[in-house]
């Protein structure tokens, strides 16, 4: 975390080995590679870096960056990358919820994104149902 603290931006520590660094830069991939270099130099460890235009997309991109790479996921690429994935590919949706969504006929991220929010609210709860749709659209923090 000390390596990340040296970068301009807002650092949010999410655990002993995970953090979010909000940086606004014309070339975010170069910042990501600089982060990797700093972590390697200071710890001798490799890290994967997800770049996104919001926290959810950055977190999701990290899965595609593993091991030790950089991957960018934005509003423009979200559906191309995520639409055919199962709902539990989303941060915040686990196997149990994916099973409940499948019971509603929703087997992909794209199907959840296109689902009627009122139906999701009725079936999965007034807060959680619409939240799953926002996750599937890549619209949530």
Residue 99: both structure tokens together:
């099973």
Q: CA-CA distance, 81 to 53, in Å (whole number)?
A: 15
Apex 86 CA angle, 118 and 59, nearest 5? 90
Q: CA-CA distance, 20 to 82, in Å (whole number)?
A: 21
Q: CA-CA distance, 13 to 2, in Å (whole number)?
A: 11
Q: What are phi and psi of 111, to 5 degrees?
A: -70, -40
Instruction: Check if the beta carbon of residue 82 is closer than 8 Å to that of residue 60.
Output: yes
Task: State in Å, rounded, how far the first CA of the chain is from the last one.
Answer: 21
Catalogue the active-site residues: 18
Q: Name the residue with tokens 């919001």.
A: 54
């Amino acid at each position: 975390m000390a390596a990340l603290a040296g970068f301009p931006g807002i650092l949010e520590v999410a655990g002993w080995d995970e953090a979010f660094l909000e940086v606004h830069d014309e070339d975010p991939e170069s910042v990501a590679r600089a982060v990797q270099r700093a972590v390697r130099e200071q710890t001798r460890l490799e890290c994967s870096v997800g770049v996104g235009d919001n926290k959810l997309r950055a977190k999701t991109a990290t899965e595609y960056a593993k091991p030790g790479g950089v991957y960018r996921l934005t509003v423009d690429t979200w559906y191309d990358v995520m639409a055919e994935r199962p709902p539990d590919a989303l941060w915040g949706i686990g196997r149990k919820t994916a099973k409940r969504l499948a019971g509603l006929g929703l087997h992909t991220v794209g199907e959840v994104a296109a689902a009627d929010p009122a139906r999701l609210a009725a079936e999965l709860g007034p807060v959680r149902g619409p939240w799953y749709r926002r996750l599937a659209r890549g619209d949530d923090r």
